[in-house]
Amino acid sequence: MKRSENAISIYQELYFNPNETEVEQVHNRVANCIGNSKKQINKFEQILNDNIFRPNSPCMINARLKEEAEKLEDHDNNLVACFVIKLEDNMSSIMNMWSTCAKVYAGGGGTGFPITNLREKNSPIAAGGVASGPIEYMKVVQRISDTVKSGGKSRRAANLGCGRYNHPDIIEFINCKNNYDFSAINISVSVDDWFMNQVELENWEQKIELISPNHKKVVGELTVKEIWDEIINNAWSTGDPGLFFIDIINKNNPLPSLGKIESANPCGEVPLQGDSSCDLGSINLTKFIEESEFKFERFKEVIKTCVEFLDQIIDITSFPNKNIEQMMKKTRPIGLGIMGLADLFYKLEMTYGSKESITLFEEICKNLTITAFEKSIDLAEEKGSIDLGQDKDHFYNLLLGYGLSKEYLDKFKKVGIRNSNVTCIAPTGSISITAECSYAFEPQMALIWEKPLSDRNKTLKFINKDFLDACFKLNIIIDDEKINEIINNKGSIQSLDYPEEVKNIFITAHDLGWKKKLEMQGVAQKYISLAISSTCNMPNSATKKDVEEAYKLAYKLNLKGITIYRDGCKNCQPVNFGQIKDKDSTVIEPIKLPSKRIGETIKLESPNGTIYITGNKVNGKLIEIFLAMGQIGQLENLLINSYSKQISKSLQYHMPINIILDQMEGQGGLKFWFKLDEEKDITVSAESLLDAISKIIRYHFIEEEVDGYSIKDKSKSSPDESYNICPACGKRTLTFASGCRSGMCMNPKCTHGFSCG
């Protein structure tokens, strides 16, 4: 098959492994990795070679034969793109999230996480001190995303943070992309039916109680209007936040006994319980046209093959941690979707958004999900079912709603089902280009457009082939002058001199209008078991009222979420009509650990007992921390050992050590004094055990100043130990002699304590 220059460019940038120079070599490698028999391998290879099907990019990049995979790190064997990370209100869970994020990015995936369960900023910690708040932890995610490039390539990782509307920090969360660099994090506000009903009824003064996640107490209140206005204003100005309709999502949760769904993957099409992932793939709809008709029987046969392909990925792929592996093998969600819908309409000479196009799209989605569930039931009979437990009746009702036949509903009762979810519609960016078709179900962004490759060293230029063919049939010559004319018209021909029959067919996203686009999405969502990734594109002239109407309409159409993008509201755009400047970017690989490392152990005497802190370095860089207590097997030892493993993993995936120490330092708890340097007889105070450990790591292993002491400067005078460390300025200038409970700082540049009586 002859392939376009653009398709080959994607293979060269993303998918070619060492020694691969042909597209068919990639497909052969992928098919041999996933297939279980010669017949199945041939079948998989055929749908790849014919541009009928593509799995998600991590599978195209990382699929290898078992003997090759065993030689590589786990993240190099990741075959899935989407992860939803469980996040609880404790440091162990937060550190686990950071470590998991780094592994996911290294394997080419993206993450979603809920900030809803994290206590608010300045919330008291039981042992003393105050919490940093969700935004501070999101900053670490951004730093890791900047450092660990997706899949070892130059693409930056993607994330989605979801925050519930009644979280005490919700206003700061909504505004966070205005105030901080969260370019690698999309954000969505989780809203329930009650909140949206208040919006619909315009009960603007209705009070919203802000609930502290850890204390479960009301700590403040806002009105519906205050929250809604912040959402709309920011969405209009930055494209964030989107909305996450949490009640709609959980009504369609196939396994509610496993817990509530609180977040989705970065693009929003995979809402799942925490510690889950989903392997995605998409079918090219343009491959089922014969004699100007869509051939559903051929489509169904391909669906069955693709379900086999995706289901088998779950047994082959590596996972970033055991919790995700266990959840995936327990629930086995897959997300089979579509691409090339806009091209399908062009080829069938249908107007995107017309009644006939909506009818066809609805039938495609219905057949996609019904056939996928039927195949999953067949696989359950052949290979075994997931354990539905108390959710079986609920699952049966979901299948009934999708329209499965009585034959398969009865079979489900007998044998169960192999996969908890089967369909979603993902963005299909790179894989659509390799399959030579339009993105997912999206209308064409433009008839002529440019896409920068992620390393900004090359720009792909696109001219829609169906449009050129239509013009050729009508003897319309598309020369450089006409191309520039279309480019200057934002890729559209609607206000230009073309026949009406051409204009009616070759419409673009901005020609269509956002309302029609949302209606198309609503039609699809009825028959998609997961969700749909889609951005509601608006012209630059769109008002805040338009954004508000779009969010309301999305809820009315029973969508699971919505994101808008107003043309020109961000510095970078998905479609470009001018020249794109090249920009270099650096690829940073995870650290390869040698078998021999140089280490040092420091003893810490604490109220919890003796703790041994070992730091190992490679080429002078700290890459491991081990913490051990004397009483082996006790809970404290298990916890501190687990904590050190999280620190080590974070270091090995390039998290800067100062980010880790900044989170540990100042953590409240039992205050005590300890020997920072035994040889120099230096004693300092600690706010808690974590604070003491962080000071030892900073002083001994990265050789930075601690409380005025430096391992590099032997002549430096000792600070006055009659004073404590001020929580405001960080200097050892705090005295309690005044009788003030918070102390008074004697630093003339600090006002801490001067206002207490």
Tokens of 676: 């920072």
Cβ-based neighbour number of residue 495 at 10 Å: 10
For residues 685 and 676, what is the distance between their CA atoms, to the nearest angstrom? 9
How many residues belong to the chain? Answer: 757
Rounded to whole angstroms, how far apart are CA atoms 448 and 485? 10
CB atoms within 10 A of CB 275: 24
As a whole number of angstroms, the distance between CA 554 and CA 146 comes to: 32
**Using an 8 Å Cβ cutoff, are 6 and 23 in contact?**
no
Q: Token match 């289901």: residue? A: 311
Which entry of 172, 269, 436, 665 is annotated as an active-site residue? 269
226 is catalytic: no
Cβ neighbour number for residue 633 with a 10 Å cutoff: 7
**Contact (CB, 8 A) for 157 and 532:** no
Dihedral sign (CA 704, 707, 712, 713): positive
Q: How far apart are CA 59 and CA 649, in angstroms?
A: 24
Distance separating alpha carbons of residues 482 and 88, to the nearest angstrom? 57
To the query of whether residue 424 is one of the catalytic residues in this protein, the response is no
CA–CA separation, 353 and 516 (whole Å): 6
Which member of 267, 278, 306, 745 is catalytic?
Answer: 267
Site of tokens 């506000």: 189
The C-alpha R_g of the chain, in whole angstroms, comes to: 28
Residue tagged active-site, from 186, 265, 284, 367 = 265
Structural contact between residues 693 and 612, judged by C-beta atoms closer than 8 angstroms: no
The torsion angles phi and psi of 754, rounded to 5 degrees, stand at -75, -15
Task: Confirm if 352 and 443 have CB atoms less than 8 A apart.
Answer: yes
- 252, 197 in Cβ contact below 8 A? no
| Cβ contacts of 713 within 8 Å, gap of 6 or more | none
Specify which residues 160 forms β-bridges with: 112, 186
DSSP E strand stretches across 127-182: 159-164
Separation CA 269–CA 245 (nearest Å): 12
661 in Cβ contact with 694 (< 8 Å):
yes
Torsion from C-alpha of 362, 365, 366, 370, nearest 10 degrees? 180
Helix (H) / strand (E) element for 536: namely strand 535-538
Contact 584, 456 (CB under 8 A): yes
Q: 500 an active-site residue?
A: no
- Quote the tokens at residue 28: 């052969």
Residues noted as catalytic: 265, 267, 269
